[in-house]
Amino acid sequence: MIRGGDRPLRALTRLLRSADLARAFTIAALGTGFASFLIERTAGSVTHATIVTGLVVVGLAILIARRDEFALLRFAPTSLVAFLAWTLASVVWSFDESSTFTGWIGLLAWGFLALVVAHVRDTLQTVRALGDVLRWLLALSLGVEILSGVLLDMPFPFLGVAGDIAYGGPVQGVFGTRNMLGLVAIIALVTFAIEWLTQSISVQLSVFSLTLAGLLAVLSASPTALVVGVAVLAAMLALIVVRRVRPSRRRAAQWALATVVVVVLAACYALRHRIIRLLDAASDFSTRADLWNEILEWVRHRPVQGWGWHGTWWDEPYPLSVINFRLDDRHGSALNAYFDVLIQAGWAGLLLFGTLCAVAMVRSWLVAGERRSVVYAWTPLMLVILLVDSVFESFTLSGLGWMMLVLCTVRAGQSRSWRERIRDVAEGPAPSPLS
């Protein structure tokens, strides 16, 4: 017999364990991440922080209700836990403990949202939710640009929209900068392509989605998006080749591909000045070079532990404030995720961050090369986007970028993990995972 007082609790538990709530939570978390700039400019940073906090609370409740579905050992990758532990430890030697702790709380909150999404939705479900979010935001971006540049012929300063769509761009949409719009458009193109190839949506919707994302990618006129797009296209072609190679020759093909990647990266570094001139980004690179040289000067004083984790530079804690003062600028980041980790968490932090990214990339790539379903290609292609963009921006170290990186890292670990093999040896073969 069920007591009357137990009925609301049971109903709440069923709700928290339901697939409908899991989908709604995933859409809300991804939507909040991609619409962060829009939310902060229209409703304020406090509202944005409140939304994120509310999502964390709901996510925690979902995990508690579903606790029998998860194994603590496989909940989060070891490399992710180690990086979070090191950045938290930097509170001890930071000159601004409150800023460091606040920056770390941001990492933890967005990372936790990614963990919840990764554990309550499989890869295809995540792709579908992300596709829905990006369709709406890209359509809204195009509508705002048309309203600003064609119908009203006036800029929207509070959104950073210049209203230049009538002149062929560049456009910013609701993402603040053309580089961010271009990056989101590339993410959308990959996501929409996976939806189309898995027949998750209708052909008409696929054509509309790909056309919309491609149009905004072109109108953004972002050199960063161009480089990221080329890298993703190369990765897609390489993955197609690997997937078509016979299993007996796949390992040799993977090693050959790794060698090609190393050679290409070395060539890009050697020809970096020509590439910069080709992209007409000499002045932009000069700004970055001055900033990175200044960062390296400060790294020499604390090479191992860094100066303390802060995430973004907007509060300008020491010594980031001094760097901006000496350069007579107000940078919000190091304009490079790896340099940002280096100055904030030292070489030890950069090693942990590099391990996190490399392990996720290798795991996801091997899975995508072996599994038949094309949906497994989404994770490595997302990682290529994030890691290449990290050379030009610190996108992956806070907010949406960090959430996407953690999501891909956890997804890669779920499909291929040393802890999975330990479990298989101890308990026998396990059922195939959903993602």
| Per-residue pLDDT tens digits for 308-340 | 898 888 777 888 888 888 887 788 888 889 999
Are residues 286 and 245 both part of a single domain? yes
- List pLDDT tens digits, range 130-139: 999 999 999 9
Lowest mean pLDDT among 11-20, 340-349, 391-400: 11-20
Are residues 257 and 400 both part of a single domain? yes
Amino acid (one-letter) located at 402: W
What distance in Å separates the CA atoms of residue 396 and residue 181, rounded to the nearest whole number? 15
Domain that holds residue 352: 223-435
Q: What integer pLDDT is reported at residue 254 of this predicted model?
A: 72
> Which of 221, 236, 255 marks a domain boundary?
221
Are residues 142 and 186 both part of a single domain? yes
Are residues 260 and 207 both part of a single domain? no
Query: What's the structural domain count of the chain?
Result: 2
Confidence of residue 156 (pLDDT cuts 50, 70, 90): confident
- List pLDDT tens digits, range 342-366: 999 999 999 999 999 999 998 888 8
Are residues 204 and 348 both part of a single domain? no
Q: What integer pLDDT is reported at residue 430 of this predicted model?
A: 41
Query: b/e for 302-331, b at 16 or more Cβ within 10 A?
Result: eeebbbbbbbbbeebbebbeebbeeeeeeb
Using CA atoms of 317, 319, 324, 330 in order, give the dihedral in degrees to the nearest 10.
-20
Q: Is the peptide bond before 155 cis (omega within 30 degrees of 0)?
A: no
Are residues 334 and 230 both part of a single domain? yes
> Which of 188, 221, 254 marks a domain boundary?
221
Q: What is the DSSP letter of 149?
A: I
Q: What integer pLDDT is reported at residue 280 of this predicted model?
A: 53
- Please report whether residue 157 resides in a domain: yes
- Please report whether residue 214 resides in a domain: yes
Nearest to 180 by CA among 299, 332, 287: 332
Pair 273, 58: CB distance under 8 Å: no
Which one has a higher pLDDT value, 427 or 205?
205
Nearest to 249 by CA among 369, 342, 162: 369
What distance in Å separates the CA atoms of residue 89 and residue 345, rounded to the nearest whole number? 10
Q: What integer pLDDT is reported at residue 414 of this predicted model?
A: 74
Are residues 261 and 183 both part of a single domain? no
Are residues 257 and 195 both part of a single domain? no
- Please report whether residue 276 resides in a domain: yes
301 phi and psi angles, rounded to 5 deg = -80, -30
Instruction: Kindly tell me the burial class for residue 101, based on how many C-beta atoms sit within 10 Å of its own C-beta (0-12, 13-18, 19 or more).
Output: middle
Are residues 295 and 352 both part of a single domain? yes
Nearest to 340 by CA among 52, 87, 76, 77: 87
The long-range contacts involving 35-41, CB below 8 angstroms and separated by at least 24 positions, are: 35/137, 35/174, 36/399, 36/400, 37/160, 37/174, 37/175, 37/176, 37/180, 38/137, 38/159, 38/174, 38/175, 41/158, 41/159, 41/160, 41/176
- Please report whether residue 11 resides in a domain: no
Are residues 170 and 186 both part of a single domain? yes
Q: What integer pLDDT is reported at residue 269 of this predicted model?
A: 64
- List pLDDT tens digits, range 166-200: 888 789 889 988 899 999 999 999 999 999 998 88
- Judge whether residue 263 has pLDDT over 60: yes
- List pLDDT tens digits, range 198-228: 888 889 999 999 999 999 999 998 888 888 9
Lowest mean pLDDT among 17-26, 69-78, 219-228, 333-342: 69-78
- List pLDDT tens digits, range 138-149: 999 999 899 888
- For residue 290 the two structure tokens come to 């001055």
Are residues 147 and 248 both part of a single domain? no
